[in-house]
Structure 1
Amino acid sequence: MAQSSPPRTALLIFAAVIMVFTALLLAPWSTADGRSPAFHDALFTATSAVSVTGLTSVNTAEHWSPAGQIVILAGIQIGGLGILTLASLVALSVTHHLGLRTRLVAEQGMPTGSLGEVGSLIRTVVICSLVVEAALAVVLVPRLIQLEQDVLAGIWHGLFYSVSAFNNAGFVIHPDGLDGVGHDPVVLWTIMIGVFLGSLGFPVLLVLWRCRWHVKRWGLHAKLTMEVTVLLMVLGAVGYALLEWNHTETIGQMTAGEKLQNSLFASVMMRSGGFSVVENAIEHSETMLLTSAMMFVGGGSASTAGGIKVTTLAVIFLAFLAEARGHGESTAHGRTIPAQAVRVAVSVVAMGASFILVSTMALMIISDEDLERPLFESISAFATCGLTSGLSSELPPSGLYVLSALMFAGRVGIMTFAAALTLRQSRIRYRYPEGRPIIG
């Protein structure tokens, strides 16, 4: 039974899909020069695409051919939709119903809290993805055609950025990144909206679709996700603006309106979007620390964003608040948060911090760098964010393997770990006497 557990099945499916895309990128036709790329570059790019991260070891626009970029785009789309969602759809098309095991497997990628909701959520995943991506493309394609004065390039870039934005992937196919078009308000706001919607999570999108803006009908998960997401977005924008306002190498020479716009853009991207107009490496160290904290939190559960998730942060904060007030239980919006949810939240944070600690130490040894860049890169990989200090493109193969493992763990490791803790519930018919260790 343990060998066929849903969490393990989820992990194996993701690993298999990454290897398939690695094999595709190893083909000579995938590169611009017609030669097979190095294995570590193909593996790193495939892992980054399927895990919708956006970190790259080579310039996506210059190193990969149009065919290779299409492979990367397919990896982003499949990773965003969720390999498990696609597997469930195949099962649904064959059997015309979702069996219990298929539902359990699907739950690893979309923890709705109710197995009966999986079928509805799968439809929401596909419909929302296609509708939102199409809406983004309708705006981006004509705008990029106008900016680039090239119809084919505008269509391709618009479609690519629509998929990359909604799936919080952060891949760009301009040689100099978004710097050439990123200051355009239409492009900037369209990408921001796509990233924001993708970071909410499909359970929240399902609630918004059903209940619209009738907040009283929202469940606790949707309320906490929206509240913490908006709060972090505002705090991130204010923090970025205060820290970089007069920094001439970043936004210091822009107008006040452009500064505010770019600060909001940076804040939205911090928590998983991965797009950047300003290079992170030239920002102040305090800004990079703020970005690292936001990346670690990430977006909503069962979303295209990564990190420990905003609801995890909310649950831990509510537990702290209850303890400070002397309350025995955590509550929010008239609901009691079970102690098991608090334990899982603490475990997820501890596991994520442990992954980042090990990866940062390994990268410091491999690259002979001080703490700042290896830590930033490790958090970005774990949180599947894609913002970079520039270290990824400088690392030897061993460093890329470390980050590849971290991206994989960040995308499926935490998810399956949390699901395993949730599924492994056993009733103990005895209780030991209490022992109280000194804490703090």
Structure 2
Amino acid sequence: MIGGRAGHPHPARGFRHPGRVIAVAFAAAVAVGIGLLSLPIATAGPGRADFLTALFHATSAVCVTGLVTVDTGTYWSGFGQAVILLGIQAGGLGIMTLASLLALLLSRRLGLRARLIAQAETKALSAADVRRVVRTVVVFSLATEAVVAAVLAVRFATGYGQSLPSAAYYGVFHAISAFNNAGFGLEADNLVQYVADPWISLTICAAIIVGGLGFPVVFELAREWRTPKTWSVLTRITVVVTGALLVVGTVGFLVAESGNPGTLGPLSTGAKVLAAFTAAVMPRTAGFNNLDIAAYQPETLLLTDALMFIGGGSAGTAGGIKVTTFGLLAYVLWAEMRGDPDVEVGRRKVPGTNQRQALAIALLAIGVIAVATFLMEALTDFTFDQVLFEVISAFSTVGLSTGITADIPPAGQVLLVLLMYVGRIGPLTLASGLALRERARRHQLPEERTIVG
């Protein structure tokens, strides 16, 4: 058989190495961003950005991370900010489109239900399917961003005295940054000055959650929100784990930070709840900060580390190992504790291949973070809490920081660039590679149990 092993469907031929396509596409986008941000017109002051600054911010934008070494609103000119915004948009749309097309491909390759992709009911990966998925993802993304931008623009104009052009620009910038889970802001303190403003905080949180849930989940919820029993395993795990983590995060922030004068302490009771909820949404992985992270209690930093590591939904704009990976491993643990022979989510059995894939992604992510933390500790003089927070934030493409990013030496910033790139393409590339490599074996070796624990 020409072009592949027998039994492989023709649609998979063009995607035999989807990881390479993803890696090259993101690298090309970063390269374009570097070139544009290196132009003198990209900076607000005289001269031009040095290569490392352009590299760092182009990568942070395309990988929708939000870590910065210079202030976005003052260092970059309007042209530079537009380049960053286009990088965010390209990165976010690219992630959602590639992940959605991958899900469509896998529905054909592995026989999964094609309705994981909202507009692709067919089981054939044809040109029409690709066009339909791409068109729907783009329209959905732009429409959501437009609504969020309009709401924010009205608030910026009426509540903060901005002119209509300025309010509109602020609305568009923050809407795109929020929906794509990027976390870039135009103010030096990001969203700290809006910490008690429910209009801005909740609108941005809504955009982050919708973008982080993922295209397949959002459209399945839109069709079948009245009948949870019919939800796919993907939607069920994403919704349940996302809701649980938001509750745990909000309560955790309230308990740890309510008496902290540097964060929630000075706020009223209502403002504390709003700020705690917003702070719990941001690590999922938006990167906006509505509180001074440098003033966090150690236990709050640890909670945020955990939320950043888990991240958001699959086929969405969020990073991390994904709530589906975390949720599936939780179901595996629960089944093992109960002595159940199978892992069941709702009324469906999860195949062993999915369980192994989730375990592989989680363990590899832990390994990358451990090695990067070790290297960063050797390169800097910051505390372990600060270094671990920065590394997880970069790998999970979150963008939150305790304020040390600009003070990290060049070698450490290059390491963060690599972490952002690997963290953005890694989970998707690994998931696709593991899934597409799955094949039946015609023989089995003798079974032998070993001692575990």
Structure 1 and Structure 2 fold alike (TM over 0.5): yes
Regions of 4+ moved over 3 Å = 1-4, 83-89, 110-121
| Residue in 1 that maps onto 2:321 | 308
Instruction: Give the equivalent residue in structure 1 for 2:263.
Output: 250
Asked if 1:437 corresponds to 2:447, the answer is no
Equivalent residues in 2 for 1:210-249 (5 A)? Answer: 210-249=223-262
CA contact (8 A) 2:258 2:265 kept: yes
**1:39 corresponds to 2:51:** yes
Contact 1:244–1:283, Cα closer than 8 Å, also in 2: yes
Asked whether 1:279 is paired with 2:292, we answer yes
- Asked if the contact 2:283/2:304 (under 8 Å) is kept, the reply is yes
Q: Deviations over 1:370-393 (max 9, x none)?
A: 311110011111111111111211
Q: Structure 2 counterpart of 1:128, which letter? A: F
TM-score by length of 1: 0.91
SS of structure 2 residue aligned to 1:273: coil
The aligned amino acid for 2:421 is: F
Once residues 214 and 82 of structure 1 are traced to their aligned partners in structure 2, the CA distance between those partners, rounded to angstroms, is 31
Matches within 5 A, 1:330-409: 330-409=343-422
Worse overlay, 184-193 or 426-435: 426-435
Greater alpha carbon shift after TM alignment, 355-364 vs 289-298: 355-364
Q: Secondary structure at the match of 2:191?
A: helix
- Do the aligned residues in 2 keep the contact of 1:316 with 1:346 (CA within 8 Å)? yes
Letter in 1 for 2:170: H
Residue matched to 2:18: 6
Displacement after TM superposition at 1:120 (Å):
4.3
User: Retained in 2: the 8 A contact 1:124–1:202?
Assistant: no
Q: For 1:140 and 1:129, how far apart are their aligned partners in 2?
A: 17
Alignment partners' CA distance in 2, 1:203 and 1:293 = 25
Q: Would the aligned equivalents of 2:116 and 2:220 in 1 still touch at CA under 8 Å?
A: no
Task: Rate the CA distance shift 1:273–1:83 in 2: closer, same or farther, 3 A.
Answer: closer
Note the residue ranges of structure 2 that are not aligned, 5 or more in a row. 5-14
- TM score, norm. by length of structure 2: 0.89
Q: Which moved more, 1:43-52 or 1:32-41?
A: 32-41
2:83 is the alignment partner of 1:64? no
Q: Distance in 2 between matches of 1:124 and 1:227?
A: 25
Partner of 2:63: 51
Task: Give secondary structure in 2 for the equivalent of 1:412.
Answer: helix
Find the counterpart in structure 2 of residue 125 from structure 1: 137
Q: Deviations over 1:288-346 (max 9, x none)?
A: 00000000000000111000111111111111111111111100110000000000000
Aligned equivalents of 1:83 and 1:299: distance in 2? 13
Name the counterpart of 1:18. 30
2:217 partner letter: V
Give the Cα separation in 2 of the matches to 1:111 and 1:26. Answer: 41
Matched, 1:148 2:161: yes
- Looking at structure 2, the residues matched to 160 and 115 of structure 1 have their Cα atoms a distance apart, in angstroms, of 38
- Greater shift after overlay, 6-15 or 415-424? 6-15
Kindly provide the CA deviation profile for residues 352-409 of structure 1, in whole angstroms up to 9, marking residues without a partner as x. 1111111111111111223111100111111111111112111121111101111111
Return the offset for 1:4. 6.3
For residues 242 and 115 of structure 1, do their structure 2 counterparts lie closer, same or farther at Cα, with a shift above 3 Å needed? farther
TM-superposed deviation, 1:266: 0.5
Which residue number in structure 2 is paired with residue 79 of structure 1?
A: 91
Aligned-CA RMSD value: 2.5
Amino acid corresponding to residue 12 of structure 1 in structure 2? V
Aligned residues: 426
Measured in 1, the distance between the counterparts of 2:302 and 2:272 equals 20
Selected match of 1:173 from 171, 175, 186: 186
Aligned-partner Cα distance in 2 for 1:268–1:181: 15
- CA shift at 1:212, angstroms? 4.2
